[in-house]
Structure 1
Amino acid sequence: MVFPARDEGARVTRTVASLIETCQAPRDIEVVIVDDCSKPTRRPDVSALADRVQVRIIRSDVHLGVGAARNLAVRHARGDVVFITDAHVRFSAGWDQEVRQLIAPQRILATGIRNQDNISWRSFGCRLVVPHMGTYWNTSPPDSAPYVQIASSAGTVLERALFDRIGGYDEGMLHYGGFEPEFSVRAWCSGAEIVLAPSIEITHRFKSTDERVAFVASARTAIVHNCLRFGVTHLPELMILEMVRLHAAEFPDHIRNALRLLEERDAWGRRQELANARVHDFGWFVDRFALRDQVGRPIPVADTVG
């Protein structure tokens, strides 16, 4: 079990306690937490649970962001299977047994997600929004079930060897936003599959409206950059300009700095790197899921790199 935590404090303790209480063999579970530069008063403390589960906290004195923090946690993990989650969740009973039964080489498990504050709400993975390059939750099983386009960060399970082969999360992205869909599209294009695992449920604490507005406002430039980087590295060229125009119209105060970051972090070089390494191109992904753009139009894939 691996996850980053930034200013999560006691929520981390409750998350680790939940995974212990709901699994059949807690002593077989290793938990690696990356404390992503939390404030001293909000650092995680799991010392009271150390005699019940193998648990370690790796502290970073610089803010890594969720992608780099997850990658760091995986590098420190010793197990053959990686369960990537968040610092503020609860687990369904017997989740570890379900993982053992369902996991397989080249397979990523996408767990079911519930909302702590609206328990009747349930998701079945996510789907990609093109050319915005964000996601929508699937609130009912998709037509492609048991396969899904995108796994959630609160419940992504795969073998360590597959995580390494895919290349982990893109550390060219910044802090927050876009990591899960980019990783999932890259996983599909590398020859892996993402399969729904609704028998494993994660109950997630979502930010309140006020928390979400404040957080997104502070992270907006990074989020816009990450969406642009995701699009530049995967979209057919005909859609990249449309993506940039969309973000420029919606976020005029952030687009200039986002484009500067895009150039500084060599998104076009990353595009070519992925084109040289992947098994399938983005056009294959479009065909695999009969994907349309966000207003229902066909996606032009003839000029997809690779």
Structure 2
Amino acid sequence: MTSIIICFYNEAWSTLLRTVHSVLDRSPLHLVTEVILFDDFSDLPHTKQQLNDYMASYTKVKVVRASKRLGLIRARLTATRHATAPILTYLDSHCECTEARNSTTVVCPSIDFINGSTLWYDRSSYEYIGDFSWSLNFISILPPARESKRHNHTAEPLWSPTMAGGLFAIDRAFFEQIGTYDTGFDIWGGENLELSFKIWMCGGTLEVVPCSRVGHIFRGSRPYRFGGDVLRRNLQWLADVWLDEYSQIYFEYTSHKKINYGDVSSRKELRKKLGCKSFK
């Protein structure tokens, strides 16, 4: 939750309203505790009762006034004392907020280890990203040097080729656009790589956020059973739809014989419709 603080002095009527309405219209209001309009002792007529009357119908907006001219720094400090949210957002009174959300970025936390027997939380000393083997198993690796060079701070998100699949956040519209989870998959296995490949190949970005941390209990064995061919079927389906000519590497690497994994034509059609890039 945030308090948005807008200090002004003799701001033009239309400009001030444009600033406030851009905040109200383009912010997730459930995250906005209040918008504090702090009048730094303006003397133009529209900044007085006219402003009070106009803002009275907007319950999120509070008009607060200085009893003397303070200047920007003291005005912001005074306005801050009226704010109630844990996060403070400061804006000038002559700006416009836009809709610039990157809905195609999928984010994952850094995953720490929780001991399944003792529940001891062990924070990892390193930041890992996701990768995969040619047997189409998820693996964790350290970021390559080129990824580290792309950043100025260790808290910046890291591009990750794949994700483990259990912990992530994604925009609903983008998730639906790229076909959500593949309903042709059975039970468990390969769905994390399918989604990872799809994100990167169909216009998205997958990132690990180092300052977001979630502990996870890694089970020694699965608490449920399913047929031995389920995972193989899912991975062969995945290879056929998304790996292009590299699917042959999977079969050579695993020595798996092809099984009847079903009709993948609808997923290939979706890939074509979305204009997804090649696996290469």
When normalised by structure 2's length, the TM-score is: 0.52
Q: Is 1:226 equivalent to 2:234 in the alignment?
A: yes
The 3 A distance-change label for structure 1 pair 156 and 199 is same
Mind listing any 5+ residue stretches in structure 1 that lack a counterpart? 1-27, 30-96, 98-102, 250-254, 284-306
Taking the aligned partners of 2:234 and 2:244, their CA distance within structure 1 comes to 17
Distance 1:152 1:136 in 2: 8
Give the fraction of aligned pairs with identical amino acids, expressed as a percent: 16
Q: Which residue of 2 aligns with 1:141?
A: 143
Deviations 1:116-161 (A, max 9, x none): 017254663311223x2222112x3344362111123232112212
Question: By how many angstroms is 1:245 displaced?
Answer: 4.1
8 Å Cα contact 1:126/1:137 also seen in 2: yes
Mapping of residues 236-247 of structure 1, within 5 Å: 236-237=244-245, 239-247=246-254
One-letter amino acid of the structure 2 residue matched with residue 184 of structure 1: S
Secondary structure of the 2:228 match is helix
In the aligned structure 2, how far is the partner of 1:220 from the partner of 1:123? Answer: 33
Distance 2:266 2:165 in 1: 26
Contact 2:244 2:278 in 1 (8 A): no
- What is the alpha-carbon distance in structure 2 between the residues aligned to residue 105 and residue 142 of structure 1? 26
Contact 1:154 1:204 in 2 (8 A): no
Compare CA radii of gyration and give the structure with the larger one: 2
How many Å separate the matches in 1 of 2:172 and 2:123? 33
Alpha-carbon deviation of 1:111? 1.0
Shift of 1:235: 1.5
TM-score (ref. length: structure 1): 0.48
State the alpha-carbon separation in 2 of the partners of residues 204 and 187 from structure 1: 23
Match of 2:279 in 1: 282
Q: Distance in 2 between matches of 1:123 and 1:116?
A: 16
Q: Does 1:202 align with 2:214?
A: yes
Flag the structure with higher helix content: 1
Structure 2 unaligned residues grouped into runs of 5+: 1-29, 32-86, 88-100, 116-120, 149-157
4+ long deviations beyond 6 Å: none
Query: How many equivalent residue pairs?
Result: 167
Q: 1:150 aligns with which of 162, 166, 191?
A: 162
